[in-house]
Each structure stands twice: as structure tokens, then as C-alpha cells.
Amino acid sequence: MKHRPVQDVSSLPDLAFGPRMTTWWGTLGFCAVEGAGFAMAIGAYLYLVFINGQWPLSAPPPDLLWSGVFTLLLLASLWPNHLAGKGAKAQDLPKVRRTLVIMSLSGVALLGIRVFEFYGLHVRWDQNAYGSIVWLLLGLHTLHVLTDLGDTIVLTVLMFTRHGRGKRFSDVEDNAFYWNFVVITWLPIYVLLYWLPRM
């Protein structure tokens, strides 16, 4: 009869951060897939710019006010997001609670600003190819903001309950990692939608 070697792993830690967690790799894969989706949509936008002599089609360029406010707030959110990830690694519950509340409020504010941004596009989604691709790009990014906001709110609530310990800190760090992706993907979209038509 063969014996299988058995090792007691009960002393190993039940949480880790960054690449040592499987959820981090899952989030990285998620970012890669979504990044490819953004790249295809950006490619479609650039293709439409290339084949059309006039751009944008039958509409003035989108307003800069609300998109500028959105971009500034999005960039400003990187600081509390960084503090949330740092606090999570240190398992500093008060800091994590504070920064998650700030991030939740930032997400709500960003979605409110995005509503005004849609009104400033000067084109309907079904008006022409320009309207369709602009609404698609803005809609895709809005969906990412909304997704991360939902995750942030859930984590915020959990951190104020008895579940605010252990693996939840790793989840907060993972959420902060994803928010960085949301911010980074917005920057090329912002340039394409709001500045390229003015060049």
C-alpha cells in the first residue's frame, strides 16, 4: 500500500497581498481582457476618423467642462485609493474605513458628473457612426466606474462590520489595484473624445 506524504499547512497565513493572491491574478486577467475591449473600441474610433474627411460627423466637438472636471476628480482619487491599498497592506482598519468612504463618495460624484458629460456630447448614440462610437467609449468607461463603485461600497460596508478583518484587507488592496486600471484607461479615451476632434 502506497502512502501519500501529508504536510500540515495550518501555520501558513490565510491572506497575502499582490501577486501572492490568486484574486490579484484574476483581476490582472480581467484588466487584460477589458483593456483589449477598450483597445478594439479605440481602434474602431480611429478607423472612423481615418475614413471620414470631416470629424466629428455632423456635430461640434464635445464640451470640455464636465469631462475636465471628471478627469481632475478621477486623477485626484488616485491619492485616497493609494492610501486605501497601503492601509489594507498594513491592516490598518481605521485608515481603510476612512479611505473607502472617500472612494465611495468619489465614485458617486464621478457618476453624477458623467451624466452631465453625456449631455455635453452634442450627438445622440443613434445619430451616426460618430455618435455610436463616442457613446460606446463613454458608456464602456462608465460601466467600469460603476462596477468598481459597487465593489467599493460593498467593501466599505463590510469593513464596518465584524467581517472587516483578514481576507477583506486583501480584497481592499485588489479593489485599489482595479481602480488604477479604471483611471489609466480613461486618459487615452479622454484625449480621443475631447481633444482629437479639436486638432
Task: Report DSSP letters for 117-181, one per residue.
Answer: HHHTT-S-TTSSHHHHHHHHHHHHHHHHHHHHHHHHHHHHHHHTSTT-STHHHHHHHHHHHHHHH
Whether 9 has a pLDDT exceeding 70, the answer reads no
Q: pLDDT band at residue 22, thresholds of 50, 70 and 90?
A: confident
Per CATH, the homologous superfamily of domain 22-198 is Cytochrome c oxidase, subunit III, four-helix bundle (1.20.120.80)
Per the model's pLDDT, the better-predicted residue between 12 and 99 turns out to be 99
Residue-wise pLDDT for 72-130, tens only, equals 999 999 999 999 999 999 989 999 999 999 999 999 999 999 999 999 998 998 888 89
- Name residues whose C-beta falls within 8 Å of residue 49's C-beta, 6 or more positions apart in sequence: 55, 196
The band of 12, judged by pLDDT with boundaries at 50, 70 and 90, is low
Mean pLDDT for 154-160 is 93
- CB of 179 within 8 A of CB of 103? yes
Whether the predicted pLDDT of 54 surpasses 90: no
Whether residue 138 has pLDDT greater than 90: yes
Determine the Cα–Cα distance for residues 69 and 75; give it in Å rounded to an integer: 10
Grid cell, residue 64, equals: 470640455
Average pLDDT of the segment spanning 55-60: 84
> In the prediction, which pLDDT does 97 show?
93
pLDDT of residue 59: 82
**Residue 57: helix, strand or coil by DSSP?**
coil
Q: Could you tell me the pLDDT band of residue 13, with boundaries at 50, 70 and 90?
A: low
| Every domain of the chain and the residues it spans | 22-198
**pLDDT (tens digit per residue) in 189-198:** 999 999 988 8
Weakest mean pLDDT among 122-131, 132-141, 145-154: 122-131
State how far the Cα of 80 lies from the Cα of 176, in Å rounded to an integer. Answer: 9
Q: What is the pTM of this model?
A: 0.86
3-state secondary structure of 55: coil
Q: What is the rounded distance in angstroms from the CA atom of residue 46 to the CA atom of residue 118? A: 20
Question: Which range, of 1-5, 65-69, 100-104, 139-143, averages the lowest pLDDT?
Answer: 1-5
pLDDT value of residue 11? 66
Phi/psi for 12 (5° steps) reads: -70, 150
